Structure 1
């Protein structure tokens, strides 16, 4: 619940210019909603402790990408990807992290948005060590060499800026795709729930079969599939008493 609320807050632009949430925002716009939904009494200290745990979890994910550029992320399976060689090399120093290879991690994308949305990973990581290498010896340059050096450094700067721009755009596009995939999944789930009226009727206890059949017929006659599927079991029973038993 906390992750969902924080992600929503980021999309609403509630973070400060430095990328963090101030205490007032957390208390008034995050914890107040969380406590209302969960019936809890979490305060700012609880929030800070939970964020430490979440950040440590996120750090274990980030360590993969820092270890090797061979690691990637599959947004469909929600799993980290790499060749056997890359995984085996990682486990040499992280023998207790085998779950990172086998498990799926639904929270990674949310944690990445909260703690490190600008972190480059896998093939998106930018390495400057090769392109920015300088000669080991220093000497006086003639004017032509100085011009060539200035052009070289200008080109390196342009290359780095372009790479940063490409990475930023890639992250934005990936975020848009993630939102679309999530929306499609939610729409599919809602549609499946609407089409399972019979399952919703069978969840109601102590109904005779004839009543269930009549209720199924009445729901379709009245075009109530969507509304009926959204009701609680108690509300469905009340609806049947009103529309089936009455008739």
Structure 2
């Protein structure tokens, strides 16, 4: 089979192997591992120590996949943190809203939502979007 200019079969296979689809169970393992590192003192001044990352990586390699890399962890934490920060910054200090661990959403009366959405249209998505792991993320990153 002829390959196009600059194409080979191997890089696509390597990239496909590097793609990791995270599940909620994997997220739980990841966040629990980071929480454990906090209790060990492996997060200082808002940054993870080398030992902390190594411990988290080892926990994920044992529980999830032996091919897990530090980059997989960093990428997932970046995504999770971006979602958390958006919701945290929006709802922090707002009256009329309450976090519900059961539904994993911020809840409020309809008129309170309407007022917020009128002022900040981008907030509409949070009316129906869950913020998974909010409590744990708040413990890990709320002070950041």
Q: Same fold (TM over 0.5)?
A: yes
Aligned to 2:5: none
Aligned to 2:68: 42
Match for residue 34 of structure 2?
6
Structure 1 partner of 2:110: 84
Structure with greater Cα Rg:
1
For residues 95-174 of structure 1, the aligned pairs below 5 Å read 95=122, 97-116=123-142, 118=143
Residue 6 to residue 79, structure 1, CA distance change in 2 (3 Å): same
Q: Which residue of structure 2 lines up, in the alignment, with residue 32 of structure 1?
A: 58
Task: Say which of 67, 78, 82 aligns to 1:56.
Answer: 82
Question: In 2, distance between residues paired with 1:11 and 1:87?
Answer: 37
When the two chains are superposed, the root-mean-square deviation of aligned CA atoms in Å is 2.5
Q: Distance in 2 between matches of 1:78 and 1:84?
A: 17
Deviation at 1:107, TM superposition (A): 0.7
Quote the Cα distance in structure 2 between the aligned partners of 1:39 and 1:52: 20
Partner of 2:18: none
> Gaps spanning 5+ residues in structure 1: where?
120-247
Q: CA offset at residue 88 of structure 1?
A: 1.2
Any conservation in 1 of the 2:42–2:49 contact (CA below 8 Å)? no
Larger relative contact order (CA 8 Å, sep ≥ 6): 2
Map 1:70-81; keep pairs closer than 5 Å. Answer: 70-81=96-107
1:4 is paired with a residue of what secondary structure? helix
Alpha carbons of 1:9 and 1:57: their partners in 2 closer, same or farther (altered >3 Å)? same
Aligned partner (choices 24, 48, 56) of residue 21 of structure 1: 48
TM-score by length of 1: 0.40
CA deviations on 1:156-212 (whole Å, 9 max, x unpaired) are: xxxxxxxxxxxxxxxxxxxxxxxxxxxxxxxxxxxxxxxxxxxxxxxxxxxxxxxxx
| Whole-angstrom distance in 1 between the partners of 2:108 and 2:40 | 34
- Whole-Å Cα distance in 1 between the matches of residues 67 and 87 of structure 2? 30
